[in-house]
């Protein structure tokens, strides 16, 4: 595992992804999404792996579930980096058998430890909301991803989204408000983390707006697919 010096901060998000959360993180995800997160991660990694290249990175990798699916699909010769600033989350990732084939890096994704034009592929799942909800900060972060990607390199992103249908959107937000906090807190014992999740999901961008932010960050081509009536979305952005 590599470490990149991260300045001491009072980063609330970093504190949320504590050992209490990391130990139960995957179980809580599977319960709260009725297992759909697994299907969506597989969709993300199949799309991501289909583009080829040899330098791949899963950013905000957390407990590494998406990185593990990616590792299994990676042809020989691919180097897979996995980046996160939470040592507790990455410690869980490193326990997995596929973790042996992954280059783990503790770093903040807002300042990536990669050269310009050096990666073929970036993936990220369920982390955009955690980086920041602010449009400016997200644009700067995605511009950083654009910097490290090679020309024709791709950034494939999976995140919760907003259903188009008003009634479905209201039901989805009601489910998040009513169930995510108590169920997440009961299973993990980490109430603030799931209060935070329940707070950010209804406030996140619809897919068209996230696509516009990716465009503002410099990505020349951005396409997206809605998943499960728009409760999640998969964005594919290409440099150049
Ligand atoms: C909700 S988890 C998602 C983990 C994983 N990608 C998944 O699909 O399960 C969000 C992760 O993003 C990480 N994270 C948030 N902001 C970050 C930043 N600025 N730099 C590095 N990691 C960050 C957190 O530490 C946490 O592990």
From CA 185, how far away is CA 239, in angstroms rounded?
40
Q: Tokens at residue 129, please?
A: 């909301």
CA of 17 to the centre of ligand 1 (A): 8
Nearest CA to ligand 1 atom 9: 62
CATH pick for 35-162+205-238 out of 3.90.380.10, 3.40.50.150, 3.30.70.20, 3.40.50.300: 3.40.50.150
CA of 150 to the centre of ligand 1 (A): 23
Give the atom of ligand 1 at the shortest distance from the alpha carbon of 124. Answer: 6
pTM for this model (two decimals): 0.94
CA angle at residue 25 from 20 to 29, to 5 degrees?
Answer: 145
Neighbours of 56 (CB within 10 A): 27
Q: Tokens at residue 94, please?
A: 């490193």
Q: Probe ligand 1: pick from 14, 99, 128, 130, max atoms within 8 Å of CB?
A: 130
Please report, for the chain, how many H helices and E strands are present, in that order: 11, 8
Give the per-residue pLDDT at 10.
53
The pLDDT profile of the chain, 240 residues, written as one tens digit per residue, is: 666 656 555 577 777 888 889 999 999 999 999 999 999 999 999 999 999 999 999 999 999 999 999 999 999 999 999 999 999 999 999 999 989 989 999 999 999 999 999 999 999 999 999 999 999 999 999 999 999 999 999 999 999 999 999 999 999 999 999 999 899 999 998 888 899 899 999 999 999 999 999 999 999 999 999 999 999 999 999 999
From CA 148, how far away is CA 104, in angstroms rounded?
17
């Amino acid at each position: 595992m590599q470490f990149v010096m991260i300045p001491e901060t009072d980063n609330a998000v970093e504190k949320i992804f504590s050992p209490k959360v990391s130990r139960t993180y995957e179980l809580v995800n599977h319960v709260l999404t009725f297992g759909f997160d697994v299907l969506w991660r597989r969709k993300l990694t199949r799309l991501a792996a289909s583009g080829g290249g040899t330098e791949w990175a899963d950013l905000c990798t957390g407990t590494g579930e998406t990185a593990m699916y990616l590792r299994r699909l990676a042809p020989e010769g691919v180097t897979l980096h996995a980046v996160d600033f939470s040592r507790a989350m990455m410690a869980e990732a490193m326990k997995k058998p596929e973790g042996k084939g992954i280059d783990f890096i503790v770093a903040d994704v807002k300042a990536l430890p990669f050269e310009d034009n050096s990666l073929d592929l970036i993936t990220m799942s369920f982390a955009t909301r955690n980086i920041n909800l602010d449009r400016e900060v997200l644009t700067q972060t995605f511009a950083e991803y654009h910097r490290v990607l090679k020309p024709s390199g791709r950034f494939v992103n999976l995140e919760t989204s907003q259903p188009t249908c008003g009634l479905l959107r209201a039901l989805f937000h009601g489910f998040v408000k009513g169930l995510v906090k108590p169920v997440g807190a009961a299973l993990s014992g980490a109430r603030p983390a799931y209060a935070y999740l329940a707070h950010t999901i209804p406030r996140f961008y619809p897919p068209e707006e996230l696509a516009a932010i990716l465009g503002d960050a410099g990505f020349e081509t951005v396409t997206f697919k809605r998943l499960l009536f728009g409760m999640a979305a998969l964005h594919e952005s290409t440099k150049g």
